[in-house]
Amino acid sequence: MAGHARWLETRLFEVLGSWVAIESDAAAKVLWSTLSLRHAGHAAGWHDRQPRVAHLDPDALTVSAGAGATALIAALSAMVEPTQTVPRLAVVARVVQPRLLAAYRARNELAHPLADGPTLRWTAVLHSDGEAAAKESQALLYRRLRTTADADAARACESAMVTSPGRPGELIGLT
């Protein structure tokens, strides 16, 4: 699971970081930079929680949890138009962050305090960061929704992405 979470957090770091270069909205540019760096830190944290066994390479264990996670990252990676600020905000605020939070909650439900204490402490940090990211992106989205067309674009993008992946833990390999 740590490898799947590391893969996802690394891809989110890369995608949101790439949006900084194309973003025309200054506040959104700052948000993407901030969130990108948080995801980089999360990826590093998951790397530290991967098994350290002589015959296992942590990088070889860092793979997508499945088609749903890969499709989500591909869809985010395709959002490269400078005019897609509102859809990008909608997808991060209403799809990515809530699903990531749900995935980490699902992970915690399977954890045992004695065996998984360090990971439980780590997911508490992730949960706090995720809630902050959701609030920050949602607040900026509300400030950028100026027209019915903006709201329609946000809804359309959110609807297109909400079906994949289906179950909360699927993003990080919980089935």
Span 94-148, pLDDT tens digits = 889 998 998 899 888 888 988 889 889 999 999 999 999 999 999 999 999 988 8
Fold of 2-172: Ferritin (1.20.1260)
- The pLDDT tens digits of the residues spanning 131-142 come to 999 999 999 999
φ, ψ for residue 166 (rounded to 5)? Answer: -80, -55
Mean pLDDT of the chain: 88
Q: State pTM to two decimals.
A: 0.91
Grouping H, G, I as helix, E, B as strand and the rest as coil, residue 1 is coil
Distance of CA 122 to the CA centre of its chain: 16
C-alpha distances in Å from residue 93, one per residue of 44, 68, 123, 142, 158: 23, 18, 19, 10, 9
Q: In this structure, which amino acid lies at residue 102?
A: A
Q: Which helix (H) or strand (E) holds 98?
A: helix 97-109
